[in-house]
Amino acid sequence: MVVGDASLDIDVLVIGAGPGGYVAAIRAAQLGKSVIIVDKAEVGGVCLNRGCIPSKALISAAHQYEQMSHGSGIGISAEGVKVDFGKVQEWKQSVVKKLTGGVGSLLKGNKVQIFNGEAMFINENEARLFNESESPRYRFKNCIIATGSRPIELKPFPFGKRILSSTEALELPEIPKSMVVIGGGYIGIELGQTFAKFGTKVTVLEGSKTILPGFEKELSNLVERNLKKSNVEIFTEAMAQGSEQTDKDVTVTFTVKGEEKKLTADYVLVTVGRRPNTDGELGLDLINMKLSDRGLIEVDKQGRTSIPHIFAIGDIVAGPALAHKASYEGKVAAEAIAGQPSEVDYKAMPLVVFSEPEIASVGLSETEAKDKGIAVSIGKFPFGVNGRALSLNATDGFVKVVANKETGIVLGAQIVGAEASNLIAELGLAIEMGATLEDITLTIHAHPTLGEIVMEAAEGALGHPIHMMGK
């Protein structure tokens, strides 16, 4: 408790305990700083509590159910396979609880003070922390803002009992019979495909010409094909117009190439992007923080804002809203505060969609490299001729490697297929260290593994693939 209204002194105030904030707090504490972290909800933020982790748990459960239900092709059949969705949700929450509990222990173990509540800037050097029982005032030498983002709500589709954001969709107590997903980006596709595997009749409405518009079509095509196998109906170039709700369902009106259509479903899931949490009671306007037109905080390569001793990281700054991006930026900001020459470099930032099959990319795509005027060598190798992929009955997909034709240096890679999320790490490391195609081919990959596909793609780019006829 604070005596009177005197300010307490702290080296670093971290606002937001998500994957950006808590990592920043731990790293700052490791570097000898006194740190307090404040969050009005649970440690771990959206990612651990209402996003990345619970969604991947449900995706994993849906995948296991699908495998058990459709194993006859490899000689395994099971009768009476059913889903107890209540227990699935309990298991999902146990995963979340274990991870958030671990984060709390790590913060305490690194002597980071934790304040459960909100923060509001008083001036450029002080902030009021407050909850129902206390409101201490802190004078800080540095501050890291990591307040994250929230789902965008569309006016014709207000969130409620039948119209859901990803947060409510992850908490559904039962498997819906039907669902309309507005937005065919990575969140909509991941959750839509998950519920489709559990048996929900899913319809996806996407305004662009393809689903997953941020990825090359040769990657998203395989995902679209698998969605259709799960009886997911996809409307591209579709614009959602309005909704009518009852106690039992919701009707969506939308247009496709000028033609009006209507669909009725148990629920509508809206996944059209996220909005940065830079408004509200934080008080950025009180300290004249410089924001972009989209409400993002403008920062330099160390995360410094227009106020040099205040930093911002994660979803509230430019770039994709990714947990690993926020964590990376958090470490850079903490190290900058400690006087180290750290700065961000996004050239090896991986992007992953946990669809079926998974999609992952890092670095430059073939199109991006050519747009930069770089002559490229391309290596592409399919999962379908890899021994491990065949033994896993997971033959959809390929690895594509993009390299500088003159130097052989790896510029980027795209993967669609089983375990793409794990395979991309090797190629991210290759880009980060300036490795060449030859470095990858000279690295002995264990057999039989999916990792061999990466090696084979690199060999293909060099013009001498072993397990596929060269051009």
Mean pLDDT score of the chain, rounded to an integer? 95
Q: Which of 160-164, 307-311, 412-416, 463-467 has the lowest mean pLDDT?
A: 463-467
pTM of the model: 0.95
Residue 315 annotated in ligand binding: yes
Q: Which residue, 123, 145, 138, 109, is CA-closest to 6? A: 138
Any bridge partners for residue 401, and if so which? 379, 413
Residue 295 annotated in ligand binding: no
Distance of CA 39 to CAs 100, 117, 125, 172, 329, Å? 13, 5, 19, 25, 18
Q: Is the pLDDT of residue 31 over 50?
A: yes
Residue 186 annotated in ligand binding: yes
Tell me which fold the domain 163-270 belongs to: FAD/NAD(P)-binding domain (3.50.50)
**So where are the chain's domains?**
8-151+275-346, 163-270, 357-461
Residue 189 annotated in ligand binding: yes
Q: Is the pLDDT of residue 99 over 50?
A: yes
3-state secondary structure of 209: coil
Residue 147 annotated in ligand binding: yes
What percentage of the chain carries pLDDT values higher than 70? 99
What percentage of the chain carries pLDDT values higher than 90? 93
- Note the pLDDT tens digit of each residue in 217-255: 999 999 999 999 999 999 999 999 999 999 999 999 999
d(C-alpha 358, C-alpha 368), whole Å: 21
Which value, to the nearest 10 degrees, does the dihedral of the CA atoms of residues 153, 154, 159, 162 take?
-140
Tokens linked to 132: 């129902």
Check the CA dihedral 213-218-223-224 and report its sign. positive
Residue 185 annotated in ligand binding: yes
Cα 380 to chain center, whole Å? 26
Residue 339 annotated in ligand binding: no
- Note the pLDDT tens digit of each residue in 264-295: 999 999 999 999 999 988 999 999 999 999 99
Residue 463 annotated in ligand binding: no
Q: Quick one: pLDDT at residue 471? A: 63
Tokens linked to 98: 């274990």
Residue among 70, 447, 464, 467 flagged as catalytic: 447
Residue 328 annotated in ligand binding: no
Tell me which fold the domain 357-461 belongs to: Enolase-like; domain 1 (3.30.390)
Residue 188 annotated in ligand binding: yes
Residue 4 annotated in ligand binding: no
What distance separates the 2 farthest-apart alpha carbons in the chain? 79
Residue 183 annotated in ligand binding: yes
Is 447 a residue of the active site? Answer: yes
Q: Is the pLDDT of residue 381 over 90?
A: yes
- Contact call for residues 214 and 291 (beta carbons, < 8 A): no
- Contact call for residues 319 and 325 (beta carbons, < 8 A): yes
Q: Is the pLDDT of residue 2 over 50?
A: no
Tell me which fold the domain 8-151+275-346 belongs to: FAD/NAD(P)-binding domain (3.50.50)
* Angle subtended by helix axes 323-337 and 21-30, to nearest 10: 30
Find where tokens 């490299």 sit. 369
Residue 184 annotated in ligand binding: yes
Q: Same CATH fold, 163-270 and 8-151+275-346? A: yes
- Note the pLDDT tens digit of each residue in 330-377: 999 999 999 999 999 999 999 999 999 999 999 999 999 999 999 999
Beta-carbon contacts of 177 under 8 Å, excluding residues fewer than 6 positions away, are 200, 201, 266
